[in-house]
């Protein structure tokens, strides 16, 4: 186990039990596992977490699943079976955190809601990840990432003039997972300092609504809906891709008028352009976006990509290059900073990125990706079930083990 200055990874000793599926809750618990927490993932007997079946692109495994579930232990358990519920309750009796993102009302029907569990286990932190909240007019509605992107207004500002576009990652799920993760850490801190375990509740809709607040403010108070501008920024210009003489795209991000003047003088070689009344301020440039982008594009088309980047570097103007997702793990920043590790799956080893937040003196505990039910027998034995009892549970379809596959 990686160690920090005190000889332990940050969350060693914290046990998380998670009734999780898809993206949001697994993303939260994976980050807890990266910090050393023990995460026991409860999966369906018939196929497990349905994210296992999203694709077969990583040595025959799902790209979603291997991304979201490293470092966890898999227990394939029929939680609707009375004996399965008993096992789950035995696990919760010794757990620190319980996370769930099942369908609306599912855990409440099993008596696993936050209020009931808090009475039974006062030190247990319960985290519920829902679509639209546990109360309100849409508490019973299922929520998936694209649907929430639409409801939260993200699709109204993403895409181009012709049509909206789904964000290329599961951003509503990721947002909810991030808030669940930070909420659980906060609850662990509160419990450590006050002795009280407070429940955590996060909805996909409210998480993404927070992230869409800037365009919401802009639209509500200006009366103008931010346009869908593709890879360009709706309210800052120039901010987006420009094609150089090599035919490659370089993305510019001019954040203020000082940078704009440097851009005109040192990159474009057009100092007079900085004071053109159509372009002098960001508001002017946004209002005359087509003209300013056309002027910049005409000049950059005469430069090679290397010359463009050299000029931008010397002028201190921010820019980026388009990276294909297939080359991300070999990006010079990730390689140069040694941010890529190897982890194992039951189909072979794969690359894994270190978590973005670096805690000084502690290495993340990047564990392997579990096969369905792989740790089930060991978990049950910890609860006091001997081999005969485990075999009996397997034959009864309560748990799934290698012998029952």
**Does residue 328 lie within any of the structural domains?**
no
Q: Which of 321, 349, 369 is the last residue of a domain?
A: 321
253-294 pLDDT, tens per residue? 999 999 999 999 999 999 999 999 999 999 999 999 999 999
Q: Which of 263, 294, 321 is the last residue of a domain?
A: 321
Dump the DSSP string for 245-291.
Answer: TTS-EEEEE--SHHHHHHIIIIISS-GGGGG-TTTSSHHHHHHTHHH
Q: How would you write the pLDDT of the chain (405 residues) with one tens digit per residue?
A: 444 455 468 999 999 999 999 999 999 999 999 999 999 999 999 999 999 999 999 999 999 999 999 999 999 999 999 999 999 999 999 999 999 999 998 999 999 999 999 999 999 999 999 999 988 998 889 899 999 999 999 999 999 888 998 999 999 999 999 999 999 999 999 999 999 999 999 999 999 999 999 999 999 999 988 888 888 888 899 999 999 999 999 999 999 999 999 999 999 999 999 999 999 999 999 999 999 999 999 999 999 999 999 999 999 999 999 888 999 999 999 999 999 999 999 999 999 999 999 888 888 899 999 999 999 999 999 999 999 999 999 999 999 986 555
Task: List beta partners, residue 165.
Answer: none
My answer on whether 295 and 351 are in the same domain is no
**Does residue 334 lie within any of the structural domains?**
no
Q: State the pLDDT at residue 194.
A: 96
Q: State the pLDDT at residue 6.
A: 56
CATH number, residue 375: 3.40.50.10540
My answer on whether 29 and 104 are in the same domain is yes
Contact present, 399 and 45 (Cβ < 8 Å): yes
CATH number, residue 310: 3.30.1540.10
My answer on whether 251 and 349 are in the same domain is no
**Does residue 289 lie within any of the structural domains?**
yes
Closest CA relative to residue 360, chosen from 1, 42, 10: 10
Q: State the pLDDT at residue 299.
A: 96
My answer on whether 354 and 307 are in the same domain is no
Q: State the pLDDT at residue 405.
A: 53
Q: State the pLDDT at residue 1.
A: 40
Domain that holds residue 310: 239-321
CA 314 – CA 298 distance, rounded (Å): 21
CA 296 – CA 267 distance, rounded (Å): 10
Contact present, 265 and 197 (Cβ < 8 Å): no
Closest CA relative to residue 304, chosen from 242, 266, 247, 251: 247
**Does residue 256 lie within any of the structural domains?**
yes
Domain count within the chain: 2
Query: Who contacts 289 (Cβ-Cβ below 8 Å, separation ≥6)?
Result: 232, 237
Contact present, 239 and 254 (Cβ < 8 Å): yes
Enter the tokens of residue 295.
């002027």
Q: State the pLDDT at residue 404.
A: 56
Q: State the pLDDT at residue 358.
A: 86
What is the Cα 126 distance to its own chain's centre?
A: 20
The whole-model pTM stands at 0.90
Q: Is 31 exposed, middle or buried (0-12, 13-18, 19+ CB in 10 A)?
A: buried
């Amino acid at each position: 186990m990686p160690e920090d200055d005190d000889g332990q990874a940050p969350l060693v000793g914290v046990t998380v039990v998670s009734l999780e599926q898809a993206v949001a809750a697994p993303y939260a618990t994976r980050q807890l596992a990266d910090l050393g927490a023990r995460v026991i993932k409860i999966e369906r007997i018939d196929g497990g977490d349905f994210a296992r079946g999203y694709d077969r692109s990583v040595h025959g495994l799902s790209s979603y699943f291997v991304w979201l579930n490293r470092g966890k232990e898999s227990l394939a358990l029929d939680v609707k079976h009375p004996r399965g519920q008993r096992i789950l309750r035995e696990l919760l009796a010794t757990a620190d955190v319980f996370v769930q993102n099942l369908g609306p009302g599912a855990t409440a029907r099993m008596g696993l809601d936050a209020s009931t569990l808090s009475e039974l286990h006062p030190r247990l932190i319960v985290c519920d990840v829902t679509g639209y909240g546990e109360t309100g007019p849409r508490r019973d509605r299922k929520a998936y990432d694209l649907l929430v992107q639409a409801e939260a207004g993200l699709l109204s500002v993403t895409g181009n003039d012709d049509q909206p576009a789904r964000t290329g990652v599961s951003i509503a799920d990721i947002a909810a997972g991030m808030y669940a993760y930070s909420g659980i850490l906060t609850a662990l801190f509160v419990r450590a300092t006050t002795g009280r375990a407070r429940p955590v509740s996060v909805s996909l809709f409210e998480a993404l609504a927070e992230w869409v607040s800037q365009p919401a403010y802009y639209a509500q108070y200006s009366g103008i809906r931010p346009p869908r501008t593709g890879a360009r920024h709706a309210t800052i210009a120039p901010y987006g891709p420009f094609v150089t003489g090599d035919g490659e795209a370089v993305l510019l991000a001019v954040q203020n008028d000082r940078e704009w003047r440097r851009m005109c003088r040192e990159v474009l070689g057009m100092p007079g352009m900085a004071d053109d009344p159509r372009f002098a301020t960001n508001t002017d440039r946004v209002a005359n976006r087509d003209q300013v982008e056309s002027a910049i594009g005409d000049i950059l088309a005469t430069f090679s990509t290397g010359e463009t980047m050299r000029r931008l570097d010397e002028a201190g103007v921010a820019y980026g290059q388009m990276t294909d997702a297939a080359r991300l793990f070999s990006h010079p920043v990730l390689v140069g900073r040694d941010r890529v590790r190897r982890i194992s799956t039951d189909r072979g080893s794969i690359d894994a990125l270190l978590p973005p937040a670096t805690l000084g003196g502690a290495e993340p505990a990047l564990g392997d990706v579990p096969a369905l039910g792989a740790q089930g027998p060991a978990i049950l034995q910890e609860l006091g079930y001997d081999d005969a009892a485990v075999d009996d549970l397997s034959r009864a379809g309560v748990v799934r083990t290698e012998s029952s596959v």
